[in-house]
Amino acid sequence: MLHLRVTTPAETTDRVVALLEERAGVASIAVLRGASVRPVGDVVLAELARESAEDMIEALRELRVDQTGTIALESVETSVSAAAERAEEEAPGEGADAVIWEQVVRRTHEDSVLSKTFVWFLTLAAVLAAIAIVLDSAVLVVGAMVVGPEFGPLAGIAVGLVHRRFGIVRQSLVTLAAGFAIAIVVTTLLGLLAAWAGWIDTAVLTAERPLTGFIWRPDRWSFVVAFIAGIAGILSLTSAKSGALVGVFISVTTVPAAGNLGLALALGDADELGGAAAQLGVNMAAIVLAGIVTLLLLKASAGRLPRLSAGRRPAASRLR
């Protein structure tokens, strides 16, 4: 279930309430007359099934509520109510499959902003990946993958292209370019410092690395893995279940490739430099392509998936 809060001018309130009353999937409606100070007007509160949220937002936009007031949605973790259960049964589709596109766009917009936090995390992840290569440690590679925040702007490119929000695309490209540039420069400088101190030399890159050698050797499987991970990431981003996103981070070697690139620059290994750059490009392109394809398929199939009958639906899923 979702909690909907609408602030609207008084002259529009009755139309908003009528809209809520006629729509399937609405469990409760409350009106607070004159409660809104800015904008001046009323506050309408409702609980509705996640499956009904996208249509509701579009209908409210047709009333220009997004221009004259505000529309806010919050997740309700548990709703103990017969009315809520009836609303979920009446709403078309399944809550886990429902996509709230405005939520997806806004989330990717926030995740693709070039912030100090993004740069810090990406830089730390690249440095950690470089250390993993020096030590030939698969555990540290996985750690670097988890720390890396690059999926946000990659998803932002896909979402921006599909929804024609080209401002998000530009912002994501700038974030990726600046973020990776800073991360690679910092990793290169630290690599030069480590080489000057005698901690590492070119043998680090020329030695056999059975656990991390794959990072700078892109092949057909690199594209396949990144493409599948991109699909999983977009599905996690668009659904109510986002736990799989960590698995996406662990699957793709974008950050390790950046760390390898920085280390290769520091030690002057042209072959490994080219391989790491290719790996980075292949993975990023595959994720964006997978994101675009997945988003287009989700939009095309919206509302076409049959709902399970009440008798076949697990009882535990009725509490959300």
DSSP the chain: -EEEEEEE-HHHHHHHHHHHHHSTTEEEEEEEEEEETTTTEEEEEEEE-GGGHHHHHHHHHHTTHHHHSEEEEEE-S----HHHHHHHHHSSS-TTT---HHHHHHHHHHHTS--HHHHHHHHHHHHHHHHHHHHT-HHHHHHHHHH--THHHHHHHHHHHHTT-HHHHHHHHHHHHHHHHHHHHHHHHHHHHHHHTTS--THHHHS--TTTGGGG---HHHHHHHHHHHHHHHHHHHSS--TTHHHHHHH--HHHHHHHHHHHHHHT-HHHHHHHHHHHHHHHHHHHHHHHHHHHHHHHTTT-SPPPPTTTS-GGGG--
Q: Would you give the distance in Å from CA 72 to the centre of its chain? A: 20
Q: What global pTM score does this model have? A: 0.80
Question: Is residue 263 within 8 Å of residue 205, measured between CB atoms?
Answer: yes
Res 107: pLDDT: 85
The residues near 299 (Cβ < 8 Å, ≥ 6 apart) are 162
Pick among 3.40.50.300, 3.60.10.10, 1.20.1250.20, 3.30.70.120: CATH of 2-96: 3.30.70.120
Dist CA 218 CA 246 (whole Å): 22
Residue-wise pLDDT tens digits, 232-278: 888 888 876 655 555 566 667 789 999 999 999 999 888 888 999 99
Tokens of 165: 């929000």
| Residue boundaries of the structural domains of the chain | 2-96, 103-300
Q: How far is CA 114 from the centre of its chain?
A: 15
Could you read off the pLDDT of 294-315 as tens digits, one per residue?
Answer: 999 988 876 444 343 333 333 3
13-66 residue pLDDT tens: 999 999 998 888 888 999 999 999 988 999 999 998 888 888 888 889 899 998
Mean pLDDT of the chain: 85
Question: Of 40, 36, 56, which is closest to residue 48 (Cα–Cα)?
Answer: 56
